Amino acid sequence: MRLKGADMVMECLLEQGVDTVFGYPGGAILEIYDSLYKYKDKIQSILTSHEQGASHAADGYAKSTGKVGVCMATSGPGATNLVTGIATAFMDSVPIVAITANVGLSFLGKDSFQEIDITGITMPITKHNFIVKKIEDLAPSIRKAFKIAREGRPGPVLIDITKDVTAGYGEYEREEIDTDSNKVSNFYKEENYNESFEKAVELIEESKKPFVFVGGGIKSSNASDELKKFVELIDAPVTDSLMGKGAFDGKSSRYTGMLGMHGTKASNLGVAECDLLVAIGTRFSDRVIGNSDGFASKAKIIHIDIDDAEINKNVLVDLGIAGDAKYVLENLNLMLKKQDHTEWMKEIENLKDKYPIKYNKNVLTGPYVIEKIKECFDDNTIICTEVGQNQMWAAQYFHYNSPRQFVSSGGLGTMGYGLGAAIGVKYGNPKSRVINIAGDGCFRMNMNELATASRYNVPIIQVILNNKVLGMVRQWQTFFYEGRYSDTVLDDQVDFCKVAEGLGCKAVRVTKMDELEKALLEADSYNGPFVIECMIQEDDKVFPMVAPGKSLRDTFDQDDL
């Protein structure tokens, strides 16, 4: 069948099971947007307020569904505005496909109006990228892009298409493609797996104090069920990274809380005392391990990850298994005998009892807001966050019991991520309640996406924890810079409620603890975007904390101070 290039893009998206795209039109991509209009009954196009919001929406859609998220932008500044979102997805291994259009082939390399080498710019922050200059390459490039984005360790792929390709005509033949996101990847299967599995079983059976550390790879491989069985078999406690939230049930008695800089003392001290650490689907970020020389110093370490480049990169391990977490755990579960570590589990339970996370319950605080959200809403609620104190409180005080219930920017730490992501999450999960937790500093970054939410009447709840400062940066300035609060005070005349109302949303301000529940329930019953601004104290801190360069053993909280 002979098709216009832009229509071919639509047909290839339909092949891949795409139902929603997020983006912003412009001159070079007009042909594709013209086709989106013709295909509007099959693919919904969400016009965001800024291209960065589109890339975060695609990220949130992908994180919360396991499908590939799609965003679009025109050439030049449209394409470069996607860069932060693409980098965010790259750092968190999120499968998105970014489609940009460039100037016509004859104008490339001539500094033409709105021309930019977007493939060159994004090369370090994509799994792969394409520039399509011939129409016969268009459909194969799109199909390869989706395959690369979802296979193995997921990640972003960019396709840049010259305008003459989108306007030209070529032959198209539909392909049937398996887009089952639950399908176990056979990527990175090694010939010596049996030897590795036997060694893992040997290390586990020798262990008296095992600890399991899980990251976002469990979610990517849909391995939560296998993880639960594995943990029961080896009779171990479980901690997670920020990206691992929800991979293991946060309400389980085995769960000890997050690990790392703002991890619980039970997790940090437990990992410091364990004799075997089984790390699955995690890259051992510096925010997790602290001083690498003192990390899990008493333990042998098994590291399971689909990307063999991560093994022995940040932490030297005793056994590395490069493979899909679901596949590896399925096989280990078949080989393992039930272990009994009653005394070790009692030791961990004592740590949890001795060092609970806590906060001042007499005033309105960030943790109180999170706990009230947890109290008011059911387990079908998906929490998105911005970055900073709001993010850490949401990680610490909300108990996630399903794998895709927590959506945040981990590796890049992108302020302004959450609101766009929440819109994408809602489109991917229309029956779920979606709440974005923000600090006032992050909210300023991309609050224009409230206009997107009101344009489409997207019923999300935006909670702002407003302490009128850049809270996490101020916390560091308090502890490590002798209280020199350089450019972190935001005490100005901005009224977020008026801004929200001006952008078409309902908004209320909460200043007292007893006002919060009413506001949350009102937001829940409102059919549209609702903003709740919570006024908290400027010097609220996130505890526990590990100072930069210190070991996890050096975790401190307000009592230690």
Active site residues: 51, 113-114, 163, 472
Rounded Cα gap, residues 380 and 147, in angstroms: 30
Q: Give the chain's length.
A: 561
Residue 94's SS3 state is: coil
The amino acid that residue 178 corresponds to is D
CA distances from 42 to 5, 36, 38, 46, 138 (A): 18, 9, 9, 13, 20
Cβ atoms < 10 Å from Cβ of 221: 28
Task: Tell me how many degrees the CA angle 296-322-130 measures, rounded to the nearest 5.
Answer: 120
Residues 10/35, Cβ–Cβ less than 8 Å: yes
User: Residue 6 corresponds to which tokens in the numbers above?
Assistant: 């832009």
End-to-end CA distance of the chain: 72
Describe the chain by its helix, strand, coil percentages, rounded to 5.
Answer: 40, 20, 40
Alpha helices in 429-544 (DSSP H): 440-446, 449-455, 471-480, 496-502, 516-525
CA distances from 181 to 104, 136, 222, 406 (A): 35, 28, 9, 18
> What's the maximum distance between 2 C-alpha atoms anywhere in the chain?
73
Task: Tell me how many degrees the CA angle 479-485-491 measures, rounded to the nearest 5.
Answer: 125
Strands 300-305 and 276-280: parallel
Residue 63's SS3 state is: helix
Q: Torsions phi, psi of 466, nearest 5?
A: -100, 105
Radius of gyration of the chain (CA): 24
CA of residue 541 relative to chain centroid, distance: 23
Check the CA dihedral 319-321-325-328 and report its sign. Answer: negative
Residues 40/10, Cβ–Cβ less than 8 Å: no
Rounded Cα gap, residues 307 and 280, in angstroms: 11
Residue 10, beta-bridge partner list = none
The amino acid that residue 82 corresponds to is L
User: Residue 401 corresponds to which tokens in the numbers above?
Assistant: 């019991």
